[in-house]
Structure 1
């Protein structure tokens, strides 16, 4: 079993502690009690320098991540009816699904972004910035804000696809039509045009794109529209609240 190198003097210790905790939760099925004097992490960590300071620093960070996972619903206090409180704990049903996942795990933001960069190559900085903010919101239990940030990142990625598609169009009439649509603010006409173009491309044989691309795009487009509508609704609610507050003062 490979160990994670941990230097108590390095920045980014919290990210490493998160990885270590996830690793132990996946491997050590008998672990069900959190303790500030736990040596059970030693099989998962290679300490840089003297082990004692490394152990103390890691266990402090583990406590922080442990509470994060409780807030996120991965872990819950108590083992059973006879031991219903901390330091006993158990993995929730949701936590079991989280630990079984191997790709794009938001509970491990560092690993999530590393995999994202690896798959994309050189991602757009704006997309990555909103994605990173979405993960930060998720960590803190701000799930609505997390979804909104993810939606903004998705919309930005979609608009980049539109720019690439516009540049690739060979027919001047299509290019002019699509360019006119892109200059408008509504997102749905852009999505409809792209979807129709993809459906047209898919009629060629062999199909240049996966068979389920239409379904995938429809789901993604619905998500982006929902996110946009949510942002508009939140803005209107805020405006009404501010107007009501001003009128009452």
Structure 2
């Protein structure tokens, strides 16, 4: 069985995950062993048929040819960026041997917090940025990630949108009871239609934006408010209703999954600032 094709970013995440394994845990030291390790990484994430509750692993599963070429691109991109050093040691000083540079291990290790590979790691990523994520939103996100890895992109998109809507409705409800800004968010809280609720919330927020503290946490407020609208409009409305719009593809859902942690963090910060 051939595995499905993945995006460049997904392949890069897989390469980085493989390269950051602790020494002694099948760390690849040659390019072809890296390709094989990435294949095993994707094999571990792919949904498998079960028989009697036991997962069936099919020998001979193949990495998609496009993914194998993406591994090559990622490898040389990481080399040009200084993350990879050609040669393993003085006995194996040249390509196809390689190793992570000191800079690569430190830099890629720092960025590892923004990667996920299953439901648990994704929820951990979101909660690291929004510690008070509601249980309801977490449940929807778990379903979204499970659907994403199962190739059910429409379902994943809808679940991301429901999670975003849940968190935004929670924000407007709490803002309506703000003691710092009494009455400021009463209108959006009473609004029934989601798009109108978002518009009224943004209008109510505009006059007090400069008062939000700490200011550093609201430097990207416009971008994150735009992300709120994008996720809710596309993921919730277009995907969740029979509008005739084309079903989302894997890359689009992948982007939404990566947008959500920043969205959740901004909503978390706004809840605290508007309390």
Q: 1:144 to 1:92 in 2, by over 3 A?
A: farther
Alignment equivalent of 2:161, drawn from 151, 162, 176:
151
Q: 1:225 to 1:28 in 2, by over 3 A?
A: same
Is it true that 1:194 corresponds to 2:173 in the alignment?
A: no
Matches within 5 A, 1:109-188: 109-168=119-178, 174=184, 176-181=186-191, 184=192, 186-188=193-195
Structure label with greater radius of gyration: 1
**What is the deviation of 1:234?**
2.7
Partner of 2:70: 92
Alignment equivalent of 2:44, drawn from 65, 75, 89:
65
Taking only aligned residues, the RMSD between alpha carbons, in angstroms, comes to 4.3
Instruction: For 1:230 and 1:174, locate their aligned partners in 2 and report how far apart those are by CA, in whole Å.
Output: 30
Give the structure, 1 or 2, with the largest relative contact order (CA under 8 Å, sep 6 or more): 2
Partner of 1:247: none
Deviations 1:103-155 (A, max 9, x none): 34343432222232333224211100000011001111222221221111111
Alignment equivalent of 1:76, drawn from 63, 74, 81:
63
Instruction: For 1:207 and 1:178, locate their aligned partners in 2 and report how far apart those are by CA, in whole Å.
Output: 24
User: 1:195, 1:214 within 8 Å by CA — same for their partners in 2?
Assistant: no
Instruction: For 1:217 and 1:22, locate their aligned partners in 2 and report how far apart those are by CA, in whole Å.
Output: 30
3-state SS in 2 of match to 1:202: helix
Deviations 1:11-64 (A, max 9, x none): xxxxxxxx9997435552525369xxx9x9xxxxxxxxxxxxxxxxxxxx9684
Is it true that 1:30 corresponds to 2:9 in the alignment?
A: no
Partner of 2:231: 223
Question: Any unmatched runs of 5+ in structure 1?
Answer: 1-18, 41-60, 69-74, 80-88, 238-249
Normalising by structure 1, we get a TM-score of 0.55
Question: Any unmatched runs of 5+ in structure 2?
Answer: 1-12, 21-26, 48-61, 79-107, 246-275
User: 1:187, 1:225 within 8 Å by CA — same for their partners in 2?
Assistant: no
**What is the deviation of 1:176?**
4.4
Partner of 1:56: none
Instruction: For 2:182 and 2:42, locate their aligned partners in 1 and report how far apart those are by CA, in whole Å.
Output: 61
Q: 1:171 to 1:216 in 2, by over 3 A?
A: closer
User: 1:126, 1:153 within 8 Å by CA — same for their partners in 2?
Assistant: yes
Normalising by structure 2, we get a TM-score of 0.50
**What is the deviation of 1:66?**
6.7
3-state SS in 2 of match to 1:76: coil
Instruction: For 1:126 and 1:165, locate their aligned partners in 2 and report how far apart those are by CA, in whole Å.
Output: 19
* Number of residue-to-residue matches in the alignment: 179
